[in-house]
Amino acid sequence: MQILKKMKKTGGEKPLRVNILRHLGLTILLAAVIATVFTAWNPYHEDQLTLVERIQSIFASNPGGNSGSFPTPTPQPRPTIGLIPGHQGISGGAECPDGLTELSVNQNVAFKVMELLVADGYDVDILDEKDPDLENYYALALVSIHADSCEFINEQATGFKVSPALDATRPDKSIRLSSCLTSRYMETTQLPIHTGSITHDMTQYYAFNIIRQDIAAAIIELGFLNLDRQILTEQPDLLAEGVYRGILCYIHNEDATLPTGP
């Protein structure tokens, strides 16, 4: 339509009375038509260049998009990990005579695990011990973080333990998460596994019964507040690294073979 309008306007402006002038006029008209058509189809025409620039700017401003891929109309939600700093929202958990609480240890570690996961691009839900959001909760994985008694039991009351949510519809997922946590936590912290004391409280952990039953869930006791006090209070970064690596081991489907101890 634009071409037609231009052609009419250019051709209608020259009155032709003499033959020579007519030929001259026809030549000018032909030149004008060719020029107009050429201009309209030239790939560098101003209008088309603007369109190309507009497309380029759409790709350039695609938030979070990879260069070379098309923008998606709805962004994918980021994978989420749930963490329960044990006893948060209800009590301090186990307590030492000098006031050190299990809750403070659990929170120190849980929040550092969160930082590591967020830095990797995961979303993290920090949930209270009896959080209403645990009802039918689902995520890539859920880990509840606790620490053991501050009472002196015996010289063997040292080390950590992990228990999976066994009664779930997908115990295989929880068992693999537990194996990964055990393997990586042991490797990272050098703490021994304290297998003898996995209690009813761990295997029948409250949250395991209310979360969505196909979620991968596990509870870890980081160590004993009595004999492992030093590492629990002075190296929360190291403990968090162990839990974080365990979660990644599960997500990435890594080999969860236990490290060969010293």
Binding site for Zn ion (CB under 5 A): 86, 93, 146
Q: Smallest gap, in angstroms, from Cβ of residue 251 to Zn ion?
A: 25
> Please, are residues 115 and 177 in contact by the beta-carbon 8 Å criterion?
no
To the nearest whole angstrom, how small is the minimum distance from the Cβ of residue 69 to Zn ion? 45
Nearer to Zn ion, 200 or 252 (CB): 200
DSSP summary character for residue 65: P
Residue of minimal CB distance from Zn ion?
Answer: 146
Q: Nearer to Zn ion by C-beta: 161 or 173?
A: 161
* Cβ closest to Zn ion, residue 82 vs residue 93: 93
Q: How far apart are CA 181 and CA 247, in angstroms?
A: 6
To the nearest whole angstrom, how small is the minimum distance from the Cβ of residue 191 to Zn ion?
17
Helix axes 236-251, 102-119, angle to 10 degrees: 50
Q: Residue 147 CB, nearest distance to Zn ion (Å)?
A: 6
- For the chain, how long is the longest CA-to-CA vector? 122
- In the bound state with Zn ion, the residue whose beta carbon lies nearer, of 104 and 174, is 104
Q: CB of 94: closest distance to Zn ion in angstroms? A: 6
Tokens of 64: 């979070």
Torsion sign over Cα 133, 137, 140, 141: positive
Residues 6+ apart with CB under 8 A from 156: 194, 196
Q: Which of 76, 244, 215, 221 is nearest to 134 (CA)?
A: 215
Are 143 and 218 spatial neighbours (Cβ–Cβ below 8 Å)? yes
The nearer residue to Zn ion, 86 or 164, going by C-beta atoms, is: 86
